[in-house]
Structure 1
Amino acid sequence: MDQAAQTMIDNLEKNTGKSLDQWIALVHKEGLKKHGEILKFLKSDHEFTHGFANLVAHKALKSDAASASDSDELINKQYKGKEHFLPIYEKLRTEIKTFGIDVEFAPKVSYVSLKRKKQFAMLIPATKTRFEIGLNLKGLPAEGILEIDTKTNGMCSHKIFLSDKSEINSKVITWIKTAYEAAG
């Protein structure tokens, strides 16, 4: 487990008086099976911030790379039925790795989180026809291919939509690098 996740787990107990295991047990007792349901429950009923709610949800569902037995298994699940998007993921991964040695690729069940000191992007094979790049670029207006994100509950402020590897151009890479630099 990385140091940032361990710090969050330690702070969870300090801030709430309950351990991660106790919160996971409560989520299971409530019968919550979906990530969004868990987030809503923890935020509305227990006044969690998004970060802590997200941590508990991923751990309860075993949907983060640290909880999964194999992070490649998470990638395979993401692209099942969407295999045509794997070249997009691979090309973006290759480009993003050149930004610096501090880039962390953290697969989840439905996306890959890109982190530096904090999350700066998400790579999401969203549907069979749409690949999304979520970016944390708070305060910037929509511009060209960069659209405001209104759906991910604050995880990303902007999105870029792709349907083919050929759409990955210098503008796409520049926007991702801008988010990377802002996370430093």
Structure 2
Amino acid sequence: MEQAEKTMMENLYKHTGKAFEYWIALVKQENFEKHGQIVKFLKEQHGFTHGFANFVALKARATDAASVDDKDELIQKQYQGKEHLRPLYDRLISEINGFGNDVEIAPKNAYVSLRRKKQFAILQPATKTRFEIGLNLKGEPAQGKLEAIATANAMCSHKINLHSAEDIDQETLHWLKTAYERA
């Protein structure tokens, strides 16, 4: 188990007075079918922050990178029927790895989370024709390719939409690097 995961479990207990295993059992008892249902339940019924609710939902459904043996399998699933978007992901990962040796790449079912000390971006084949970069750039005004978002992933404040590898330009890389540096 990663240190970050252990810390989340310890902090969950400190904030709620109940062990991680209690929350997993409670969520499984509810028989939720979707990740979002679990997050909503924990936030609305139990006062969880988004981070804790997301963590418990991922663990309860075993859809986080730590719950699968082959992390690349999660990435492969994301691109089924969207294979033409995979080169965007590969290129972005190559560029992001050049930012520093402290980038943690954490695949989920629908997206890949990029973390340093905290999450700074997500990479996601959003539709069959659109690739989305979610960025944690709170306080930054929308400009150029950078669009402000109010929903989708609560940890992301902005997004950049891409449709082909040609869309990965200096502006895109600038915003990714800025989010990385702020994390």
| Cα distance in 2 for residues equivalent to 1:21 and 1:166 | 46
Aligned length: 183
Structure 2 residue aligned with 1:11: 11
Deviations 1:129-165 (A, max 9, x none): 1100000000011001000012225220000000101
Task: Report the AA paired with residue 166 of structure 2.
Answer: S
Task: Report the AA paired with residue 178 of structure 1.
Answer: T
Structure 2 residue aligned with 1:128: 128
Q: Which runs of 5+ in 2 are unaligned?
A: none
| Cα distance in 2 for residues equivalent to 1:57 and 1:99 | 30
| Cα distance in 2 for residues equivalent to 1:46 and 1:150 | 23
Are 2:29 and 1:32 aligned? Answer: no
Change (3 A) 1:65 1:153: closer
Structure 1 residue aligned with 2:77: 77
- Structure 2 length-normalised TM: 0.97
1:1-184 paired onto structure 2 within 5 Å? 1-183=1-183
Percent identity of paired positions between Structure 1 and Structure 2: 62
| Cα distance in 1 for residues equivalent to 2:124 and 2:149 | 13
Task: Report the AA paired with residue 107 of structure 2.
Answer: P
| Cα distance in 1 for residues equivalent to 2:155 and 2:34 | 17
Task: State the shift of 1:14 in Å.
Answer: 2.2
Task: Report the AA paired with residue 72 of structure 1.
Answer: D
| Cα distance in 2 for residues equivalent to 1:150 and 1:165 | 26
Task: State the shift of 1:87 in Å.
Answer: 0.1
- Provide the secondary structure at the position in 2 that maps to 1:120: strand
| Cα distance in 2 for residues equivalent to 1:173 and 1:143 | 14
Task: State the shift of 1:6 in Å.
Answer: 1.2
Task: State the shift of 1:25 in Å.
Answer: 1.0
Q: Which runs of 5+ in 1 are unaligned?
A: none
Change (3 A) 1:92 1:116: same
